[in-house]
Amino acid sequence: MPSILRRAGRRSSALAALSSTLALAAVIGAAIAQPAPPNGPRPVDPRWHALTGATVTTRPGETIENATIVIRDGVIVSVGAGGAAPNGARVWDVSGLHVYPGLIDAHVPVDAPAPDAKAPGAHWNDRVIPQRSALSGPGLSDKDREAFRKLGFTAAAIAPKGGVFRGSGAVITLGDSPSESEAGVDAVNSRAFHEVSFETRGFGDASYPGSQMGAIALIRQTLSDAQWRAEDVSSYAAHPGSRSRPMPADALDALRPGVDQPPLLFDVSNELEALRAAKIAREFDRKAMLVGSGLEFRRLDAIKEAGVALIVPLNFPETPKVQTQAEIESVGLRELMTWEQAPTNPRRLDGAGVTVALTTDKLRKREDFMKNVRRAIEHGLPEDRALAMLTTVPARLLGVEDRLGEIAPGRIANLIVVKGTLFDEKSELRDVWVDGVRHEIKAAPELDIDGAWTAVFGVDGGPEAKLTVKSKDGKEHSVTAKVGDKEMKSRAFRATQNRIHFILDSHDEPKGAYSMSAVVVGDELLGTGTDPAGSTFRWTAARAPAEEPEADAKDGDKPAPDADDEKSKESQKDKKKPEVPETFGYPFGPYALDALPAQDDLFISNATIWTSGPQGVIRNGSIYVKGGKIAAVGADLRAPAGVRTIDAAGRHVTPGLIDAHSHTGISGGVNEGTQAITSEVRIADVIDPDAAGWYRELAGGLTAVNQLHGSANPIGGQNSVVKIRWGVRHPDEMPFEGAPSGIKFALGENVKQSNWGERNTTRYPQTRMGVETIIADAFTAARDYAARRDAWGRMSANDRRGQLPPARDLELEALAEILAGERLVHCHSYRQDEILMLCRIAERFGFRIGTFQHVLEGYKVADAIKGAAIGGSSFSDWWAYKFEVIDAIPENGAIMHEVGVCVSFNSDSDELARRMNTEAAKAVKYGGVSPEEALKFVTINPAKQLGIEKMTGSLEVGKDADLAIWSGDPLSAFSRCEATFIDGREYFSLESDRAHRQRITAERHRIIQKILAEGAPKKPAKKDGEAPKPDGEAKPEASPADAALAEAIMERNLRLLRSGADPDAHRCGECGTLDLHAH
């Protein structure tokens, strides 16, 4: 993107400062507005409290028995064992209850109004609004706050919704919503973080960014502009008389780096986005945190190395449907494994040393949060660590550790009072204290008499009975009395304060009804009764101790809730702990590798070796690989001692194949098609090492590819040349070291939007003349930009005084690299006239083109291509799939080759990339090219076009050991690749593939059986008149843009299916434009 500083209007910084001061004064004025005088007796607001007799966990791992907590004016004054309540404080007896620090939700998205996009100082892109605050909107409603309190949350970090730079988040307490006169009083930290997202535009919105790589480029440009803005302001302050005042830039001012800047908080949707966010933060030396996806376990090692704190949702996947054969066949292993492993995510992250806080964000239903915490604990997360993730850790991450997260003097009085322990399924949340104000969640039952009692009838030790009392939520009590082998049931149970009355019906002698009454005194019942004969008697009962679990209890039996035997409890926990594999390799899912293949020294003998180099084809030859490099290749070699040997008799060995035009492994969209020039975007930012296409391409002998941006604009994004290193820990381990940088250009129908539909007819250019003009204009701007940067570099220190270097422009920077010979152009092209046009532009601006891609009329202008470009990378035999290629012929590649053009054949397709060897064979079929030369179309020739021929592409001493072993002639459709090596590592072999398939089958069967054993989840029926879920707890509805996108995709897929086409297959010549709005 061009620098914001060249597009945005500016306003005086003094005016901005004055505006900020007035706004702050208005907020302060509102906050201290005087309340109206009382009209009647003055209300009493007790602000002094003492909670006595509790078990208090002051912080994770630290507990005080029989403690007293004193609160005054919303702040904790003291906490300690056995202390007496101070005189004058309101006393709350919480004996038998457990008090914990109030929980903190570290990320709660809220609506906030966007600033005026046309206001002075606003960013040119309306998705960049860091100057807004979550506090500027309505925040959380009373209903939302109540819903959070019912889960034990007393504070939350609210974050603005929508945008790329979304604004600053704030930490608030979760009491009732403050009145307008108290605006802002619940904010504990008004600038806790800057929220950032890789959000892209929805379907039908053609504004920037439309892809994830576009969002990343926008973030990088904005952070670069913010750095430049800070230097600009500082320079003017130091030398106000030597230059003009800085123009207004409120958006950039909000992001200027400095010690007082809060961290960037990236909201990511998967584990790869997490790595991309961390990389951006490192590049610009910014503190950063992440709102995770719950999928971090799939790239745990790389997440750990990223060194960023994570706010992790517990949005565990729904159980896959595997009840029918069709469902079983349609579910993938990756989906099954994700379902099984997701609950281990918090434990794995914590065990790896990653700082983790938890959030209710991204759950389908917020009320499932505690249930999911318990699932995480069942999967190995220690309870103390779970508590820390909800208290001390989020307090520290959000900059409020001196006020929240612990029960300690000086902290805000945010507490939760629980019957039982916090994470016990049967625990009850009684009270939540927020800012020293009590909110009753569930009242204590008037009588707590449930359980077993031992009763004695008569004062002198009459007959004994066992009484069992049950109730529903402390009400609707029932009593069962057992005397010997006789059992009686109660009716007409009544309770009045601490008195109980009930009737026991006896069906044995003496038959009749016993009328029973008693007073409840602690753990004793003192009562009187009347038997069926009318005689009165006294009776007493004492609460019976909890029974020990039986030694031979069946699986699933649970000990009594109050069991004291800790060993028994641990035993029960062990039985419940799910069995989940600890290791699963990379990439997560099928064909995963536990570790990268060993880089063994290797000797391959008795093979027919197609070197694609000076040695040509060697019959009965050998190759020696040492340290990942080719050490020797020839006909008379002997295997050194101790090396791995492969007898390749009857087999053929070729260099690893290279695809000069690929869209495999690009996530978040292959096109940033929202603008005509997007040279700032980089494919390398969105490499997806998990794409299954990589493994399939390895199985076809492919070892390297040129990942290209799509053809939606005249100047697209930067390319990425990668080796197919299947199983890497981090995407950054895939790029080909030393490969020259490149960029995608495009000409013709796609870029002038001829095939985009009636709604896309306004973006410049709309003609082929306009394509030439905009490319020439961009190069002119890049030349000027490079000249300004160069002039600054030559200036003396004295001349630079009070001046600034030109602001960095990522768009022009990439184009300037083309002019400097540091970046290769790979241009989508079909027609001879447009091919010649770009040749002339290259001559005019003094650079050499890397490749013409597709180049289906290249045979007409082969001489021009030979003079202006390294070569042409063509389809082998595609023609007549649209009018623009009406003159395409399958002899095209052979004709260009005869003229002397360096020719390669490419795939432009994940499917076709699996069989590039047979694509090369078509040069023999259609053009009469020799088999040896034809193989070069997919080996050394694409290597030359990509500038990597000194490292790969042929089997020569000193080059990387990238090679493939074939069962027969590599150009035969009947030959298959038996093994593929990259850097001397065996990434594919038929033997390892068989082992993979066996493991995949076994794992699928194991997990499916596990799901079937657990039973299908039952969805409770909605009761008549049931109230709607609290705000934020229902599954969010899709936005209109997303709904329109889904509908359009469905219509397209149905249309293709009706025509007999596979919706997932690549369409010839679309070059990625099919996925213009893919996400």
Q: Which domains does the chain show, CATH number per domain?
A: 45-102+405-445 (2.30.40.10), 103-404 (3.20.20.140), 451-543 (2.40.128.120), 600-656+953-983 (2.30.40.10), 667-707+717-739 (no CATH)
The string of DSSP codes covering 692-709 is: HHHHHHHTTTEEEEEE--
Q: Which residue has the tokens 């005026």?
A: 116
Q: How far apart are CA 345 and CA 846, in angstroms?
A: 54
Please indicate whether residue 572 or residue 684 has the higher confidence score (pLDDT): 684
pTM for this entry:
0.86
Q: How far apart are CA 93 and CA 417, in angstroms?
A: 11
Contact 102, 432 (CB under 8 A): yes
**Which alpha helices (DSSP H) does 185-316 contain, by range?**
212-238, 250-253, 271-283, 300-306
Of 444-453, 553-562, 903-912, give the lowest mean pLDDT range. Answer: 553-562
Contact 154, 185 (CB under 8 A): no
pLDDT value at residue 550: 47
**Residue-wise over 356-366: b if at least 16 C-beta within 10 A, else e?**
bbbbbbbbeeb
Highest mean predicted confidence (pLDDT) among 242-246, 555-559, 713-717: 713-717
Q: How far apart are CA 1022 and CA 564, in angstroms?
A: 40
Of 55-59, 134-138, 571-575, give the lowest mean pLDDT range. Answer: 571-575
Q: Kindly list the distances between the CA atom of residue 1058 and the CA atoms of 299, 1052, 1062, 1069, in Å, as whole numbers in the listed order.
A: 39, 10, 10, 21
The string of DSSP codes covering 732-772 is: GGSB-TTPPEEEEEE-STTTTTTTS-TT---SSP-SHHHHH
Q: DSSP secondary-structure letter at 434?
A: E
Structure tokens of 652?
């053929």
pLDDT value at residue 1052: 66
Q: How far apart are CA 144 and CA 111, in angstroms?
A: 13
Structure tokens of 875?
């389809």
Q: How far apart are CA 743 and CA 609, in angstroms?
A: 34
User: Cis (ω within 30 of 0) for the bond into 590?
Assistant: no
Please indicate whether residue 640 or residue 558 has the higher confidence score (pLDDT): 640
The string of DSSP codes covering 484-522 is: TTEEEEEEEEEEETTEEEEEEEE-SSSPEEEEEEEEEET
Q: How far apart are CA 159 and CA 157, in angstroms?
A: 7
Of 237-251, 339-353, 380-394, give the lowest mean pLDDT range. Answer: 237-251
Q: DSSP secondary-structure letter at 1029?
A: P
Please indicate whether residue 344 or residue 878 has the higher confidence score (pLDDT): 344
List the one residue out of 536, 561, 526 whose CA is nearest residue 547. 561
pLDDT value at residue 799: 82
Question: What values do phi and psi take at 576, rounded to 5?
Answer: -80, -20
CA angle 1012–1014–1015, rounded 5-degree value: 65
List the one residue out of 1063, 1031, 802, 929 whose CA is nearest residue 238. 802
DSSP three-state, residue 924: helix
Strand locations in 427-498 (E) = 428-434, 437-440, 451-457, 464-472, 475-483, 486-496
Contacts of 758 (CB under 8 A, 6+ apart): none
Q: What is the pLDDT of residues 196-236, one digit of tens each?
A: 999 997 655 678 999 999 999 999 999 999 999 999 998 88
The upper half-sphere exposure of residue 910, i.e. CA atoms within 13 Å in the direction of its Cβ, equals 15
The string of DSSP codes covering 784-813 is: HHHHHHHHHHHS-TTTTTT--PPPP-HHHH
Q: What is the pLDDT of residues 671-718, one digit of tens each?
A: 998 999 999 999 999 999 999 999 999 999 999 999 999 998 999 999
User: Is the dihedral angle over the CA atoms 72, 77, 81, 85 positive or is it negative?
Assistant: negative
Contact 303, 346 (CB under 8 A): no
pLDDT value at residue 511: 83
User: Cis (ω within 30 of 0) for the bond into 38?
Assistant: no
Contacts of 954 (CB under 8 A, 6+ apart): 611, 612, 613, 655, 939, 940, 943
Structure tokens of 62?
């630290």
Contacts of 772 (CB under 8 A, 6+ apart): 837, 841
Q: How far apart are CA 592 and CA 999, in angstroms?
A: 10
Q: How far apart are CA 431 and CA 450, in angstroms?
A: 21
Task: Kindly report the three-state secondary structure assignment for every residue of 17-60.
Answer: HHHHHHHHHHHHHHHCCCCCCCCCCCCCCCCEEEEEEEEEEEEC
Q: How far apart are CA 1066 and CA 1079, in angstroms?
A: 16
Structure tokens of 578?
């799910």
Contact 941, 871 (CB under 8 A): yes
Mean pLDDT, the chain, whole residue set? 87
Contacts of 799 (CB under 8 A, 6+ apart): none
Confidence of residue 185 (pLDDT cuts 50, 70, 90): low
Confidence of residue 306 (pLDDT cuts 50, 70, 90): very high
DSSP bridge partners of 50 = 70, 91
DSSP bridge partners of 472 = 475
User: Cis (ω within 30 of 0) for the bond into 317?
Assistant: no
DSSP three-state, residue 475: strand
DSSP three-state, residue 128: strand
With a cut of 70, say whether residue 461 has pLDDT above it.
no
User: Cis (ω within 30 of 0) for the bond into 209?
Assistant: yes
Q: How far apart are CA 3 and CA 286, in angstroms?
A: 20
Structure tokens of 860?
């007409």
Q: DSSP secondary-structure letter at 173?
A: E
**Which alpha helices (DSSP H) does 85-152 contain, by range?**
142-150
Confidence of residue 1048 (pLDDT cuts 50, 70, 90): low
Question: What values do phi and psi take at 522, rounded to 5?
Answer: 60, -120
With a cut of 90, say whether residue 473 has pLDDT above it.
no
Structure tokens of 699?
């199985």
Q: How far apart are CA 454 and CA 459, in angstroms?
A: 15
Contact 823, 743 (CB under 8 A): yes
pLDDT value at residue 179: 57
With a cut of 90, say whether residue 811 has pLDDT above it.
yes
DSSP three-state, residue 552: coil
| Helices 832-845/768-794 angle, 10° precision | 20
Contact 456, 541 (CB under 8 A): yes
**How many DSSP H helices and E strands does the chain contain?**
24, 41
The string of DSSP codes covering 554-568 is: PTT----TT---HHH
Confidence of residue 1042 (pLDDT cuts 50, 70, 90): low
pLDDT value at residue 554: 41
